[in-house]
Structure 1
Amino acid sequence: MAHQAHQELLQVLNACVAACEHCANACLNEPDVAKMTECIRLDRDCADICALTAQWIARDSHFTQRLTALCAAICDACGAECGKHQHHDHCRECAEACRRCAEACRSMTA
């Protein structure tokens, strides 16, 4: 089964979902939430695509490689945005989770 062969990727995807959801929520509690708008938007997009990618891997979809390429691109964008806010622990942690996830997704498409 595909999901058994890709357990590490599934774990990385789920960790990225959790980091992005946490970051978006924490950004909403920042004093100047308006400055965090793009971070929140990308956190939500990234969490959604990572969750969908994990689902497609688990069901052995024929489109998984295409989706993992898109997932890597969105993780890169989210990680770059979070990287602009390194003074927030949640953004720093999210950027790292996104970097790991993008690398893992690219390794599957290679």
Structure 2
Amino acid sequence: MNTIYEECIKACIECMEACNHCYDSCLKEEDVSMMAGCIRLDRECADICALAIKSMQSNSPFAKQICQLCADICEACGNECKKHEHDHCQKCAEACFRCAEECHKLAA
């Protein structure tokens, strides 16, 4: 694996896992409809993280562009999760912002 991608891949994996956990936990909340935006962005963010990981692992010529999009979606997800007081949302927001930072570095 290309070592320039190592930290970004690690951040994407952690973010994908946090988003999947947050998504699942949001579905178990009492007022699921209040969590709709969070659930939607959790799914989008986990999906783009998976694509970013694949693009970096395969040394795709589009890895930088995919990572830029990943950073944008991670920031949106982090901002949404940050609005909710649930522990899973707060942890997800942290992972999203870390991932966005690593993806911005790579895309630069």
Q: Which runs of 5+ in 2 are unaligned?
A: none
1:22-37 superposed matches below 5 A: 22-37=21-36
- Specify the alignment match of 1:108 in structure 2: 106
1:1-110 superposed matches below 5 A: 1-2=1-2, 4-85=3-84, 87-110=85-108
Aligned to 2:44, the other structure's residue is in SS state helix
Instruction: Give the superposition deviation at 1:37.
Output: 0.4
Aligned to 1:54, the other structure's residue is in SS state helix
Q: Structure 2: how far apart are the matches of 1:12 and 1:78?
A: 15
Residue type of the partner of 2:44? D
Q: Which runs of 5+ in 1 are unaligned?
A: none
Residue type of the partner of 2:100? A
Count of aligned residue pairs for this structure pair: 108
Aligned to 1:6, the other structure's residue is in SS state helix
Normalization by structure 1: what TM-score? 0.95
Q: 4+ residue runs of structure 1 moved beyond 3 angstroms?
A: none
Q: Structure 1: how far apart are the matches of 2:20 and 2:107?
A: 25
Q: Structure 1: how far apart are the matches of 2:10 and 2:20?
A: 15
